[in-house]
Amino acid sequence: MAEGYSILVDTSKCTACRGCQIACKQWNQLPGTQTKNVGTYENPTDLSFDTYKVVRFAEGSNGNGKPYWYFFTEQCRHCLSPGCMAAVENDEIVQDEKTGAVIYTEKTKDLNFKETLEGCPYNIPRQDPKSKVLVKCTMCFDRLTNNMIPACVKSCPTGAMTFGERDKILDMTKKRVEELKQTFPKAAAIKPDELRVIYVVTDDPAKYFKFASGK
Amino acid sequence: MTNHWIDLKNSDVILVMGSNAAANHPISMKWVQKAKDSGGKLISVDPRFTQTSAKADVYAPLRSGTDIAFLGGMIKYILDNNKYFPEYVTNYTNASYIVGDKYDFSEGLFSGYNEKGRSYDKSTWAFKQTDKGLPERDDTLQNPRCVFQLLKKHYSRYTPEKVSEITGTPVNDLSKVYELYASTGTKDRAGTIMYAMGWCQHTVGVQNIRAMSIIQTLLGNMGIAGGGVNAMRGESNVQGSTDQALLFHILPGYLRAPLATETTLEAFSAARTPKSADPMSANWPQNTPKYVVSLLKSYWGDNATKENDFGYAWLPKLEPGQNCSWLNLFDVMYSGGIKGFFAWGQNPACSGENANKVRQAMAKLDWLVNVNIFDNETGSFWKGPGMDPKSIKTEVFMLPCAASVEKEGSISNSGRWVQWRYKAVDPPGQAKPDGDIMIELMAKIKDLYKKSGKFPDPIRNLKWDYTDAKGNFDSHKMAKEINGHFQKDITLKDPTGQDKQFKKGDPVPAFGFLQADGSTSCGNWIYCQSYNADGNNMARRKKDDPTGLGLYPQWSWCWPVNRRIIYNRASVDLNGQPFNPKRPLLKWAEGKWVGDVPDGPWPPMSDKEKGKYPFIMKPDGLAAIFGPGLNDGPFPEHYEPLECPVPNNLLSKQFTNPTIKIFAGELDKHLTCDPRFPFVGTTYRVTEHWQTGIMTRFQSWLVEAQPQMFVEISEELAKLRGIKDGEKTKVSSARGTVDCVAIVTTRFRPFQIGNVTVHQVGMPWCYGWVTPKNGGESANLLTPNVGDPNTMIPESKAFMVNVEKA
């Protein structure tokens, strides 16, 4: 299924304000968890049953001696052919026809979490230790069905995230990569043909986050 | 801001220095991004590689507190390489003025210095005058005593090598920044500066900004779309509260507060009403008496009459030289000179520099009223760390107030847009809007003064009619009062010379109609027009953009008179034609101005009879490259911060700013080049927390994202001190100690300052002991209480610390 929607995440425009991370918590009514500073701005340190989206911070030095600081707002990619659905038999995970959103239902409690997680190239699904239900980003399905764009996209101040019909997003992605290539030869979109959440990066994806382009 | 947020998109080169816009003004980056989308370049100059640096085309590091050296080097570069805009510099700035014979500069000191008083006799900086009382000029800019040549001479010492030795910025990086920014000195290019507390909070804070103002006028970047000097405000309405005279030294609309020696209205007005003998100078401040009398009429209504000087005697007065700014207030409080204190919407226990002293000072009070939406370290100071509640006599009252969405009123943003906001929900519990708290407080005060009290006239005679039928604060009445009313039926000429009739009680259309004879009232002249016969202009929400420059003239209202970019007459040539036809902000066509609201109705300067200079708020009408009004010199000069890592100033024998006030009490400690505190420290904010964190530290999602006090240190320093990423450390200064988690980062690099390696570290100041648990304490326990000699803003951006493993 190649119709439906997509989200373009243009990391070159992301300032790591984390509006998206907070908006995700707010819309989905997820609690703030107890965290501590472990020597980075990045927090919480990983996705969890209470966290569907985390902004990853990655820093280092480039060849020219200048520092870099890359920001990568991690979330479910809503794959066109989701690896997490390999073992699905009974609508535990569904792919919405109109939007293309990959939705985890309550029935995911019957799935083998380990297998589902292994099936995801991006290490996204998480499990509620109590109910055993699996969760992740819903593409704000409950907003989409009420004519609202996803909360994270809505909150983005710089236009780093754009939501829209998939073909238009693909066109935008192509255009943006071409623009960026003039300054950043390594500029590329990460697997635009396989994913609905398409990240545009200006450097090696692994420098942004270890699972940026898959495990 | 001389310009406004949206206007950032019109820039060709954006310099972010003294701020970290991406983290602290996130929405600004929307407009920065738009500029970049159109080919604009972003420069970030910061001791630390920040979120803004991460988006920049050019990044250059500099040691905290050396901005004037950096910018002075840029001035030299612009002059040496003829990158300035000659037509603009000659016609629109005071570059051609001849400075008087008494002016001199040597070894870091300007002429007229008095060592004992730590002050200058500024009369030695005066311009030479012709017998007609006009400044003497040399439009060829060749006279060695003209401002242009003196500027050249002053900054000739700021060579790239010398600058690099002071700032620690590699020469190569300096050149890149200078070259790119100076490229905006042409007619068709605009450069802008986005700065904030990183420039202000220094003992040379005002001169940091002066240095940039000089650059902007040299390059012709003032008054144009995509240009300006743009201060990003740190609170959503701090612009509004400053406009309404939050500070001790002003009355609403930036009228300087009266002094005790100015015993009559005439004496007061005369001292604030500059004269100009130049017919080409609009000298707008000559209207000051109109604004003063209208303000007095607003305060005291019919009780303010010509016979009683419109109640001028009822205004509180400052003693000459008296300075009631923050550092002085808390110094007096610490020595027991203040009995009661309203901490209204603030948290001095965490926001005040040398916060230990602030906390001790509050223990000397009889009473403290804490007005806030949450408990904070100020209201609860008496049970804080190191305090013995039993021994503290201060009685504390907590008054819960409404949050911004729980009341109606206006908010003025950094771009001077005054935007009306509606109430979304009622405040919870007993919380009340600030206006209602003030009304209740004043009712009680008035009641007490009815019976007795020393000098009751100012209170008894107040007009004070800002309530609705139910007795609640009425923000519309207040807003109309600020706009002003006619006090009697009157006929006046409008700007085109036509007669216009007004009835008593009519709102004043704009400040051009304000009068000095008591026939108008106005609570703040710069807000006159905000709420007039057209209605509440602040509530306008029309999205028309006739110029295409993003001025949106019918969205909200902006002061003055809805002028979106001030000094806009500097965007056109002498004939009123835009320097940059691609971004025409203003144009003289068929006998009138088209575009933004012009800085006055007069024709362009080529009209020798009626034309006026563009900088109408300056008495002589020109931008001041040489500024003889500040306390620490007419040109910015590099001095080291009060606490610094180097034993001398490489530019002169004058080590620190010679005019700063040094507090010398038992808690006023400062140490320079002391081996116990070898590292440069600075403070900043993070996106997730607001100021001291009172609005954010109770919010679990934000605390989750940024939970604990930290210190950012370089990998080199971490190695030196044996500290690993995420480990607990102690950061200390001469004044205090704060526990911090170490963030070891490549984004801080040691500076090479001459032969010495200087490490710098940085901390946020958003935490405090009240909440969250294990969140940590305020970085202001470390910062020094020393201020800029003009504003007394504290130097919290450059001081000395030690970092050790905890």
Instruction: Report the alpha-carbon distance of residue B123 to residue A12 in Å, rounded.
Output: 53
Answer yes or no: is pLDDT of A1 > 70: no
Instruction: Report the alpha-carbon distance of residue B474 to residue B466 in Å, rounded.
Output: 6
> How near does any CA of chain A get to the CA of B158, in Å?
25
Q: Which residues contact B283 (CB under 8 A, 6 or more apart)?
A: B274, B275, B276, B616, B619, B620, B621
Determine the angle formed by the axes of helices B171-182 and B160-167, rounding to 10 degrees.
120
> How near does any CA of chain B get to the CA of A87, in Å?
34
At B733-748, the pLDDT tens digits run 999 999 999 999 999 9
DSSP string, B512-569: GG--SSSSB--S-GGGTTTEETTEEGGG-B----TTSSS--TTBSEETTTT-SSTTGG
Counted across chains A and B, CB pairs separated by less than 8 A come out at 112
Of B707, B710, B743, the CB nearest to A35: B707
Task: Please give the pLDDT value at position A58.
Answer: 98
3 state SS of B53: helix
- Interval A136-149 mean pLDDT: 98
Nearest alpha carbon to residue A108 among A91, A129, A121, A130: A91
The pTM score is 0.98
**Cβ contact, residue pair B742, A43, below 8 Å:** no
Instruction: Report the alpha-carbon distance of residue B548 to residue B545 in Å, rounded.
Output: 5
Average pLDDT, chain B: 97
At B253-283, the pLDDT tens digits run 999 999 999 999 999 999 999 999 999 999 9
Instruction: Report the alpha-carbon distance of residue A195 to residue A99 in Å, rounded.
Output: 13
Structure tokens at B87: 């037509």
**Cβ contact, residue pair A36, B29, below 8 Å:** no
- Interval A68-81 mean pLDDT: 98
| Residue B650, phi-psi category: left (phi > 0), alpha (psi -120 to 50), beta (remainder) | alpha
Task: Please give the pLDDT value at position A64.
Answer: 78
Of B29, B709, B749, the CB nearest to A158: B29
| Cα radius of gyration (chain A) | 17
At B143-200, the pLDDT tens digits run 999 999 999 999 999 999 999 999 999 999 999 999 999 999 999 999 999 999 999 9
Instruction: Report the alpha-carbon distance of residue B375 to residue B31 in Å, rounded.
Output: 36
Answer yes or no: is pLDDT of B497 > 90: no
* Buried/exposed code over B667-681 (b: 16+ C-beta within 10 A; e: otherwise): bbbbbbeeeebbbbb
At B700-733, the pLDDT tens digits run 999 999 999 999 999 999 999 999 999 999 999 9
Task: Please give the pLDDT value at position A2.
Answer: 60
Structure tokens at B138: 């040399």
Q: Which residues contact A121 (CB under 8 A, 6 or more apart)?
A: A79, A83, A211, A214, A215
Within B336-433, residue ranges assigned H as helices are 348-351, 355-362
B22 touching chain A per CB within 8 A: yes
Average pLDDT, chain A: 97
Answer yes or no: is pLDDT of B500 > 80: yes
3 state SS of B160: helix
> What amino acid is encoded at B428 in this protein?
P
Phi, psi of B233 (to 5 degrees): -75, 145
> How near does any CA of chain A get to the CA of B275, in Å?
47
Burial of B194 (0-12, 13-18, 19+ CB in 10 A): buried
**Cβ contact, residue pair A15, B55, below 8 Å:** yes
> What amino acid is encoded at B407 in this protein?
K
Task: Please give the pLDDT value at position B754.
Answer: 84
Chain centroid offset of residue B441 CA: 30
| Confidence label for B755 from pLDDT (cuts 50, 70 and 90) | confident
At B766-787, the pLDDT tens digits run 999 999 999 999 999 999 999 9
Torsion (CA) B695, B697, B699, B702 in degrees, nearest 10:
110
Structure tokens at A91: 């609508």
Report ipTM for this prediction: 0.98
| Confidence label for A63 from pLDDT (cuts 50, 70 and 90) | confident
